[in-house]
């Protein structure tokens, strides 16, 4: 379990670590990695499916974090949001390059199986949070849930989501938006 | 149309736009505060979604990354550079005035006679011009089709897709004119007694007939409410058209 300073939220603590990383603090970088790597790597793996490619992309993401930590602006969002945006973009870019498209497993149903969890104590908090999020996802309509999952966790564009779910053009993007709005409201998320 | 751009906020927040759509939406974001707020709030959901798929990476990856950062230089923070020092103003050169002495013995032409001669020439030229204008004045009549107006509109946007048989289908829309043009090239022959029919798809997904394309290479103005259309489709139908699509679309284009 990460030692949390009293009175500071996890988000602020992560932002502090990024500020330390920007000054070249390798210990702060290691702590940042330990706190965020399961989410970054898990997201990248979900989009790419291929373990070795996922490790390559995860490494690229963290090197970019190290290189560009000074560019993080806390006024524009959370540290974890900044990190995951970079991770998702890199994973999606890897998918969209023509070379790796053929490597990808395109079966939506095969990917909807739950991913096994690491059972160590350090992830206990994450598992509780994941359960809460899954509960909120269950509160969406099936189409909303599938559209959001395919778009974010699957890395598809909204037109690809429309094709995969056999939806009319334009409907997928509205389902993605509606689904995210309901998740935001149910989970009480603030930017 | 801006309403359709607003609806992309969710897809943008989860990185589900094509590169072109993302670029277009980011232009929209610059001038739409409500979309910026919505994108920020929806993007805050993504770390929670990532919790549901968290997987601890192999320990070897951590070691590789920690080794790599020791040989990776960090970018400096972005700062505003102070304005460069203004260069010294060059000393203006002193120019010696050149004295022009009147030429002794020059013949001076009387002003009255010279002016009269100039005006006579001008009057003659003016008469020729007026005469020519009367003779050659013709207003050219040019008929511009509605389709050409759309294609030439300053605010025209276009979307293009390729059909399974290698043909090209393109839609060009002008929001100012409230019209759109469908242009096709190299389509396969639809077959005897059949034609290509265009459709406008509204935001609920319904298809509304938008006209019959009478050739495999050509263009037509789309009929119906283009402003409310979320997409354009093209199908093979009986030559007289159908009230609803009866075949799988040859092409589907989503309008942004």
DSSP chain B: -HHHHHTTHHHHHTT-S-HHHHHHHHHHHHT-HHHHHHHHHHHTTHHHHHHTT--PPPHHHHHHHHHHHTT-PPPPPP-PPPPPPPPPPPPPPPPPPPP-PPPTTPPPPPHHHHHHHHHHHHHHHHHHHHHHHHHH------PPPHHHHHHH-TT-EEEEEE-TTS-EEEEEEETTTTEEEEEEESPPP--TTEEEEEEEEETTS-EEEEEEE-SSSEEEEPPS-STTEEEEEEEEEETT--SS--S--SEEEE--
Lowest mean pLDDT among A50-64, A159-173, B114-128, B152-166: B114-128
The pLDDT, as a whole number, for residue B243 is 77
Q: What is the mean pLDDT of residues B140-144?
A: 45
Cβ contact B214:B239 at 8 Å = no
Tell me how far the alpha carbon of residue A46 is from its chain's centroid: 9
Report the 10 Å Cβ neighbour count for A181: 17
pLDDT tens digits along B16-64: 999 899 999 999 999 999 999 999 999 999 999 999 999 999 999 999 9
Q: Chain A contacts of B78, Cβ < 8 Å? A: 70-71
Tell me how far the alpha carbon of residue B208 is from its chain's centroid: 26
pLDDT at A101 over 80: no
Q: What is the ipTM of this complex?
A: 0.81
**Higher pLDDT residue, A99 or A134?**
A134
Cβ contact A87:A44 at 8 Å = yes
Residue B45 and residue A180: Cβ atoms within 8 Å? yes
CA dist., res. B70 & res. B49, Å (int): 32
Query: Which residue in B52, B253, B254 is closest to A134 by CB distance?
Result: B52
What share of chain B in percent tops pLDDT 70? 66
**Contacts for B160 with CB less than 8 Å, ≥ 6 apart:** B168, B169, B170, B171, B253
The pLDDT, as a whole number, for residue B45 is 92
Residue B205 and residue A62: Cβ atoms within 8 Å? no
User: Can you read off the two tokens belonging to residue B55?
Assistant: 């997987």
pLDDT at A17 over 90: yes
CA dist., res. A152 & res. A88, Å (int): 8
Give first-to-last CA distance, chain A, whole Å: 25
The pLDDT, as a whole number, for residue A58 is 97
Cβ contact A41:A54 at 8 Å = yes
Q: Chain B contacts of A33, Cβ < 8 Å? A: 62, 65-66
Cβ contact A183:A137 at 8 Å = yes
Residue B16 and residue A161: Cβ atoms within 8 Å? yes
Q: What is the mean pLDDT of residues A57-79?
A: 93
Report chain A's mean pLDDT, rounded to a whole number: 83
pLDDT at A50 over 80: yes
Cβ contact B234:B211 at 8 Å = no
Give first-to-last CA distance, chain B, whole Å: 7
CA dist., res. A5 & res. A56, Å (int): 33
> Of B10, B42, B50, nearest to A129 (Cα)?
B50
Query: Which residue in A85, A126, A177 is closest to B10 by CB distance?
Result: A177
pLDDT bracket for residue B238 (50, 70, 90): confident
The pLDDT, as a whole number, for residue A98 is 53
CA dist., res. B152 & res. A181, Å (int): 40
> Of A69, A57, A12, A52, nearest to A35 (Cα)?
A12
pLDDT at B7 over 50: yes
CB-based contact, B42 to chain A, within 8 Å: yes
Largest CA distance in chain B: 106
Residue A77 and residue B43: Cβ atoms within 8 Å? yes
Sheet bearing B179-185, strands edge to edge:
B157-162, B168-174, B179-185, B218-221
The pLDDT, as a whole number, for residue A96 is 82
The pLDDT, as a whole number, for residue B87 is 53
The pLDDT, as a whole number, for residue A118 is 41
Distance from CA of A178 to the nearest CA of B (A): 8
Interface of A with B in 132-171 (CB under 8 A): 133-134, 137, 148, 151-153, 155-159, 161, 167-171
Distance from CA of B159 to the nearest CA of A (A): 14
The pLDDT, as a whole number, for residue A3 is 40
CA dist., res. B124 & res. A166, Å (int): 79
Cβ-count burial A104-122 (b if 16+ within 10 Å, e if not) = beeeeeebeeeeebeeeee
Residue with tokens 């020729």: B128
CA dist., res. A126 & res. B48, Å (int): 9
**Higher pLDDT residue, B44 or B157?**
B44
């Amino acid at each position: 379990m990460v030692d949390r300073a009293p009175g500071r939220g996890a988000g602020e603590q992560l932002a502090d670590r990024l500020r330390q990383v920007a000054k070249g603090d390798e210990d702060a970088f290691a702590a940042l990695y330990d706190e965020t790597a399961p989410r970054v790597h898990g997201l990248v793996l979900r989009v790419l499916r291929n373990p070795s490619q996922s490790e390559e992309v995860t490494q690229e993401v963290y090197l970019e974090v190290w290189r560009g930590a000074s560019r993080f602006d806390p006024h524009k969002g959370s540290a974890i949001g900044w990190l995951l945006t970079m991770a998702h973009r890199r994973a999606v870019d890897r998918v969209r390059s023509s070379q790796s498209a053929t490597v990808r497993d395109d079966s939506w149903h095969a990917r909807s199986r739950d991913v096994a969890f690491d059972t160590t104590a350090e992830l206990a908090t994450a598992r509780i949070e994941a359960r809460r999020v899954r509960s909120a996802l269950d509160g969406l309509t099936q189409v909303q849930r599938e559209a959001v999952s395919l778009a974010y966790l699957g890395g598809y564009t909204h037109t690809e989501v429309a094709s995969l779910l056999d939806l009319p053009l334009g409907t997928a993007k509205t389902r993605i938006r509606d689904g995210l709005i309901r998740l935001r409201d149910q989970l009480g998320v603030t930017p | 149309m801006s309403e359709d751009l607003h609806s992309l906020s969710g897809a943008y927040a989860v990185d589900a736009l094509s590169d072109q759509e993302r670029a277009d939406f980011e232009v929209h974001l610059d001038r739409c505060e409500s979309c910026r707020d919505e994108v920020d709030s929806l993007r805050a959901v993504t770390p929670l979604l990532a919790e549901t798929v968290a997987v601890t990476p192999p320990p070897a990856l951590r070691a590789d990354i920690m080794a790599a950062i020791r040989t990776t230089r960090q970018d400096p923070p972005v700062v505003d550079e102070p304005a460069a020092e203004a260069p010294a103003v060059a000393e203006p050169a002193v120019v010696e005035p050149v004295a022009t002495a009147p030429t002794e013995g020059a013949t001076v032409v009387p002003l009255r006679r010279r002016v009269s001669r100039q005006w006579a020439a001008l009057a003659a030229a003016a008469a020729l011009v007026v005469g020519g204008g009367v003779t050659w004045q013709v207003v050219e009549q040019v008929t511009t089709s509605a389709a050409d107006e759309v294609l030439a509109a300053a605010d025209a946007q276009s979307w293009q897709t390729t059909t399974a048989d290698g043909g090209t289908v393109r839609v060009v829309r002008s929001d100012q004119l409230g019209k759109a043009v469908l242009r096709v090239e190299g389509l396969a022959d639809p077959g005897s007694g059949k034609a290509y029919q265009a459709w406008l798809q509204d935001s609920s997904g319904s298809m509304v007939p938008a006209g019959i394309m009478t050739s495999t290479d050509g263009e037509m103005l789309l009929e119906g409410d283009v402003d409310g259309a979320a997409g354009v489709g093209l199908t093979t139908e009986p030559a007289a058209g159908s009230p609803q699509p009866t075949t799988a679309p040859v092409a589907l284009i989503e309008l942004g």
